[in-house]
Structure 1
Amino acid sequence: MTLDIVGFGALNVDKLYRVNRIARENEESFVTGLTESCGGSAANTIVALGKLGLRTGFVGKLADDREGDLHLEKFKKWNIDTGGIVESKEGRSGRVIGFVDQEGERALYIDPGVNDELELDEIDVSYMREAEFLHLTSFVGERPFLHQCSIVKKITGSVKISLDPGILYARKGLDSLKPILSRAKVVLPSQAEVNILTGEDYRKGARRLIEEGSEIVAVKLGEKGCYVTDGEDNFLVEPYKVEVVDTTGAGDAFSAGFLYGLIKGNNLRKCGEIGNFVASKCIEKSGARAGLPSTLNLG
């Protein structure tokens, strides 16, 4: 089966506690609510694209437990192909404990579980070769990251690579990411991640990522929208103004909208607008997926 896009990243179940404020060391806070939902950066993006009607699939690892069953149930709901998911009879599926304050800001703690036990020989490379895009996001452990680098080298031809590095991969530095950056059709970092990777502001940093081989860089600027460049043209795209409930998953939602625009053949500015729109719908509700749209009404 030919797919528009396959995601490859960690699979986690997120327990998000709403708190009056996020406590620092030697401080206290109190809980005002709790939600539980499936997460993982690539998974959130793929679910968003599935809701928008694209043909999607996933590569990752789950345990035979309640959390693993929950992921498979949610993927099935949005017709996401699970042919690339490895199911382990031992261990536990990945989990995240998060704290979200009254302004929608968050702090996350990751328990990777079997995500970091994914072996190279468990991954079906031919499954990825059937997709137009392969979308990569971070793992906590080094082993699955090296598998991603290895697979990117093996996949040639028509498969386009997209990378949403997250803070975890940004901290690895440019040299570690070069195998992926040199093959990337698009890189989708936050402003902070660009600074960590390059030591530059988002404009100079995006140019540096282009120099490393990425064709397009779309920098997430939060409440300022996004900055998009292909090394020749560049655009600062204004955000949609909405009431922020929870920023969890906003970056993943942006990536989904931007990739949707690329897959549908839109220009870079339009891709940025779609990314901002999908992110704006995400942050209007609690959790990474509850607010994701099934239609695009950009206004």
Structure 2
Amino acid sequence: MKIVTVGDNCMDVYQPNDRAYPGGNPVNVAVYLKGLGADSAYIGWVGSDKYGDLMREKIQEKGVNITHLSKKEGKTAVTQVELNGNDRCFGDYDEGVMASFFLTSEEVDFVGTHQLVHAGIWGHVDKKYPLFKEMGLLTSFDFSDQLDHDLVKSLSPFVNYSFFSYTKDDDYIRQFLKSVKNQGSKIAIATLGENGALAYDGKRFYRSEIVETEVVDTMGAGDSFIAGFLCGILKGFSIHECMELGSKTAAKTICYFGAW
């Protein structure tokens, strides 16, 4: 399994004690995939500050290929995080050097050496997705909770596996996933927090429940579900099996502080 993730990274800084953990959807997905046995690589930019050095060091420690992780003069992206019980609430986000991120032609060629490419809505990679599809790559994209974003309609035709974040299984999300599928995605998936996950493949809906575990910090739960699901896809699992693997992977993530 060769998967490359592209785009945003950030240091999640927990208030009020200033504990900092590396994260960002593409980074998290790459790390979780490596833990599941995949050959994963990450492409992005970090700043020339201490957080940039820490980000590079920690991703490398996890065994992810960072040959295309570049250091740029400036600040590494930072997200301020507050805990409300075991749930995290995102505060201010400073995009740092990632605000100017773009893929070089050499990096696009590197992406093409993989089976699947994954990115997220904050990663500045969306314009490359028609090219990724043209190159014959499987594509995955995390739209987060931005269900009304313009990219949902414009990007869906070029995304095999479209992921969203929502709260519950209701008529709204079912109709929404149907529309995403009808716009061109192969499978549309919504993680629903404590209510599990829901997927639609054009023929039927699939449900998976959460795996009960002690919750320490929910940071990274959705990203780890995505990693488990994509790992299952490349292993040839059924949709139901992919969702089960996603749920099991997420259950491990919420047992500790930070995304990983």
Q: How many residues align?
A: 259
Q: Structure 1 length normalisation: TM-score?
A: 0.80
Once residues 47 and 153 of structure 1 are traced to their aligned partners in structure 2, the CA distance between those partners, rounded to angstroms, is 26
Once residues 105 and 92 of structure 1 are traced to their aligned partners in structure 2, the CA distance between those partners, rounded to angstroms, is 23
1:181 aligned to which of 156, 159, 165: 156
Q: Given the alignment of the two structures, is residue 54 of structure 1 paired with residue 38 of structure 2, yes or no?
A: yes
Once residues 285 and 59 of structure 1 are traced to their aligned partners in structure 2, the CA distance between those partners, rounded to angstroms, is 26
- Runs of at least 5 residues in structure 1 that lack an aligned partner in the other structure: 18-30, 290-299
After TM superposition, give the deviation of residue 45 of structure 1 in Å: 1.0
1:86 matched residue in structure 2: 70
1:71 aligned to which of 51, 55, 62: 55
1:151 matched residue in structure 2: 128
After TM superposition, give the deviation of residue 120 of structure 1 in Å: 4.6
Tell me the alpha carbon deviations over residues 248-278 of structure 1, each in whole angstroms, 9 at most, x when there is no partner. Answer: 1111111111111111111000111111111
2:241 matched residue in structure 1: 270
Once residues 70 and 154 of structure 2 are traced to their aligned partners in structure 1, the CA distance between those partners, rounded to angstroms, is 24
1:256 matched residue in structure 2: 227
The 3-state SS of whatever aligns with 2:115 is strand
Once residues 6 and 77 of structure 1 are traced to their aligned partners in structure 2, the CA distance between those partners, rounded to angstroms, is 17
Q: Given the alignment of the two structures, is residue 125 of structure 1 paired with residue 123 of structure 2, yes or no?
A: no
- Give the residue type in structure 1 aligned to 2:23: G
2:25 matched residue in structure 1: 41
- Give the residue type in structure 1 aligned to 2:178: R
- Give the residue type in structure 1 aligned to 2:164: P
After TM superposition, give the deviation of residue 160 of structure 1 in Å: 0.7
After TM superposition, give the deviation of residue 161 of structure 1 in Å: 0.7
Q: Given the alignment of the two structures, is residue 238 of structure 1 paired with residue 238 of structure 2, yes or no?
A: no
Q: Given the alignment of the two structures, is residue 163 of structure 1 paired with residue 141 of structure 2, yes or no?
A: yes
Tell me the alpha carbon deviations over residues 197-221 of structure 1, each in whole angstroms, 9 at most, x when there is no partner. Answer: xxx6111111010011000112101
Once residues 215 and 263 of structure 1 are traced to their aligned partners in structure 2, the CA distance between those partners, rounded to angstroms, is 14
2:91 aligned to which of 85, 103, 108: 108
Tell me the alpha carbon deviations over residues 105-130 of structure 1, each in whole angstroms, 9 at most, x when there is no partner. Answer: 42332110001111354762101111
After TM superposition, give the deviation of residue 104 of structure 1 in Å: 2.3
- The answer as to whether partners of 1:84 and 1:123 remain within 8 angstroms in 2 is no
2:82 aligned to which of 99, 117, 120: 99
- The answer as to whether partners of 1:250 and 1:282 remain within 8 angstroms in 2 is yes
- Whose radius of gyration is greater, 1 or 2? 1
Tell me the alpha carbon deviations over residues 76-115 of structure 1, each in whole angstroms, 9 at most, x when there is no partner. Answer: 1122111322221x21111111001224242332110001
**Identity, % of aligned positions:** 25
- The answer as to whether partners of 2:169 and 2:195 remain within 8 angstroms in 1 is no
- Runs of at least 5 residues in structure 2 that lack an aligned partner in the other structure: none
1:16 matched residue in structure 2: 14
Moved more, 262-271 or 56-65: 56-65
The 3-state SS of whatever aligns with 2:92 is strand
Aligned alpha-carbon RMSD (Å): 2.2
After TM superposition, give the deviation of residue 157 of structure 1 in Å: 3.8
- The answer as to whether partners of 1:35 and 1:287 remain within 8 angstroms in 2 is no
The 3-state SS of whatever aligns with 1:240 is coil
The 3-state SS of whatever aligns with 1:232 is coil
Superposition pairs of residues 270-289 of structure 1, within 5 angstroms: 270-289=241-260
